[in-house]
Amino acid sequence: MRLKTEKEKMISGELYQTGDAELVQDRLNARRLTRQFNQSLESDDDNAVVGGCPAKVIKQIDNGFGKED
């Protein structure tokens, strides 16, 4: 029987260690993506909501949500 990872415990609502390396990395990545999204400018062509920077950031967040590693 395999032990659950801290991330699996978190997702299933069990008690888990918040300092787990995987969870710390996930938090740092979420903060980076949030900062990147918030700093994007809607007036820049490259940052257009459809296909531009904000859309790419949202896609990265969406791809990581609930991902089983």
For 3-37, the pLDDT digits (tens) are 999 999 999 999 999 999 999 999 998 898 888 88
Model pTM? 0.67
Query: In whole angstroms, what is the distance from residue 32 CA to residue 19 CA?
Result: 18
Contact between residue 18 and residue 27 where contact means Cβ atoms under 8 Å apart: no
Question: Residue 54 above 80 pLDDT?
Answer: no
Residue located via tokens 């007036």? 43
Residue 4 forms part of a structural domain? no
Range of the domain at 56: 42-69
Residue 53 counted as domain residue:
yes
Residue 48, domain member (yes or no): yes
How many Å is the Cα radius of gyration of the chain?
16
Confidence (pLDDT) at 33: 85
**Residue 10 vs residue 59, higher pLDDT:** 10
Would you give the DSSP letter of residue 46? G
Is 3 a member of any domain? no
What's the domain count of the chain? Answer: 1
Q: Give the up-direction half-sphere exposure of residue 41: CA atoms within 13 A in the CB hemisphere.
A: 4
Q: What are the pLDDT digits (tens) for 38-52?
A: 877 665 555 455 455
